[in-house]
Structure 1
Amino acid sequence: MTPPGGFEPESERVTRQLRDQIIDGARAPGSRLVERELAAELGVSRLPIREALRDLVTEGLVTPRPRTWAVVREFTPTDIADLDEVRTALETLTFRLAAQRRTRAGLAKLRADLDAELSAAHEGDAVRARRAAADFHETVTSLADNELLNELGGTLRSRMRWLLGQHDDLVEVAEEHENLYEAIADRDVPRVEELVMKHLVTSRAAARRKHTRE
């Protein structure tokens, strides 16, 4: 996302472009990221490319190779299981706190994320729907109003957005988010906890199906 005022340092712009391409699936797992080739493709010098690749390694989306290239990370079944375990623990707490602490302004932002996701899902726009779904989860984290959860979310943000994109059932996921939104709006904590567990099962099964096909 471009900062307010419109200025974005070149290295951050390159990082954002490459991050989006990886999370959206435009750059396949295992594909080469060569500094010279990326610099020509994106119309920049090799320095911002080098900085971007270093940042994406830190974010867990890229695997470094010797000298001047890297590859898009290939998440193994073990990687995905590890992410899922962490997600399960964090989201169970996050959604519960969000239901308890949500504000009117926060709820309005969550509704806007949900509407964007529903619209994209019904139009079959997978990239836009998955991005909006990830936005929905990040807004829930902000509603939880816990600084440590926000810090953990920032550390894991790119990998979690990747994990949240591992589903093809766009409408089903959006409808599950709508049910979660309504429970949060009603401050119905037991209902939120029930729906979160169902949502995690749906996501886990979708990721398993996708990676079995691949």
Structure 2
Amino acid sequence: MSEACLIVGVGDGLSASLARLFAAEGYALYLVARDTDKLENLAKDTGASLFKADATDVDAIRSIIAAIEGPLTVAIYNPSARSRGPITDLDPDDVRRSLDVTAFGSFVTAQAAAQRMLDNDGAVKGTILFTGASAGVKGFPQSAPFAMGKFAQRGLAQSMSRELHPKGIHIAWVNIDGAIRNPGTTESRPDAMLNPDAIARTYLELVRQDRSTWSNELALRPWVEGF
């Protein structure tokens, strides 16, 4: 039975690139999104199973992971939410929602995936990857909720890596430090935005990393992006 790859928060950008690549590598795909109607063509192309769920819904995420057939060896968490504005004007409910999606949702998926992976045979039991952002390294003005969520997500990944690497589960937080080239976007100069297919290949390289050299954090930025 094929190894399974779970991708939470699937759209038509990076997640679609990840789905196509991991399907080509022989993984059985399980794709989760709040709106699955727009994913019908992607599912047809990749043979993926679609699940409609909010990433913060504990019962839904646990049920999806429990329904996966075969060994779950890759889990990728992509969702995040922003609430922009001056700190004095932010709506507390919007801030809470941002934290729920970016931070709590990461925990929900990672916990259930880790529980499932610990049952896998083999020295390396699986890989859990979080799609991060530069906001998890430095907070920007009028973007406090996003920074709060990404710092929390990064802290979760650091804690999990120290706990689970010795148990055979590879954890990594990927800092996407720049804008991703999505359908319909225009670039100011060639390769000024991150190519989603190239990001996906880097995720696959993380999955394939020798355990003697596991990365727990990785920053990806276009050649024109400032530090």
Using the size of structure 1 for normalisation, the TM-score is 0.30
The structure that is strand-richer by fraction is: 2
The structure that is helix-richer by fraction is: 1
Using the size of structure 2 for normalisation, the TM-score is 0.29
Which of the pair has more CA radius of gyration? 1
